[in-house]
Amino acid sequence: MMRCPYCQEYESRVIDSRSSEDGSTIRRRRECTTCKRRFTTYERVEERPLLVVKNGGNREQFSREKILKGISKACEKRPVSSEEMETVVADIERELRDNFDREVSSKVIGEKIMDKLQKLDEVAYVRFASVYRQFGDLNSFIKTIEQLKNK
């Protein structure tokens, strides 16, 4: 049962179901039978655990929500839809699970996010890069923007 995010009731009905392009996710549009408000849920196959090896050497469980949060922050006030951001996250997760068995470096994930953002929205790319690469001065910004212009 899926709980309504508005009134916390358990009863809802599915209004519309759509599968993602790669078939890995089902998006369901639901309506609460009590308050009649609508909400969206996503259904995915539970994958084997993937650990992220951080810069300090410690490990944590892979979190697609954490990636989505970073991408959302970079795309804030940009003409990028939530569906496009969700697609980027799904692509990154699929690539990681296809290419890494149990562990992946946080650097690999960061680079994949930057590659996808560069194609999606250049401003979002620069925003994400400024945090990810920890730009210390204006020259770092200028260098990244010049590299982007030259591509």
Domain residue spans in the chain?
10-46, 49-141
Confidence of residue 148 (pLDDT cuts 50, 70, 90): confident
Q: What angle do CA 111, 42, 36 make, to 5 degrees?
A: 140
Q: Please tell me the least confidently modeled range out of 26-30, 86-90, 107-111, 147-151.
A: 147-151
What pLDDT score was predicted for residue 145?
Answer: 79
Beta bridge pairs of residue 40: 29
How distant, in Å, are the alpha carbons of 6, 30, 65 from that of 1? 15, 12, 21
Q: How far is residue 91's CA from residue 73's CA, in Å, rounded to a whole number?
A: 18
Q: What is the pLDDT of residue 139?
A: 77
Q: Which two tokens stand for residue 40?
A: 């969206």
Say what the pLDDT of residue 28 is. Answer: 93
HSE-CB at 90 with a 13 A cutoff on CA atoms is: 19
Residue 136 is classified by DSSP as: -
**pLDDT, tens digit, for every residue of 28-45?**
999 999 999 999 998 887
> Do residues 124 and 88 touch, judged by C-beta distance below 8 A?
no
Q: What would the pLDDT profile of 81-108 be if each residue is shown by its tens digit?
A: 999 999 999 999 999 989 998 999 999 9
Task: Give the tokens for residue 85.
Answer: 């951001």
Per-residue pLDDT at 137 exceeds 90? no
Query: What pLDDT is stored for residue 77 in this prediction?
Result: 93
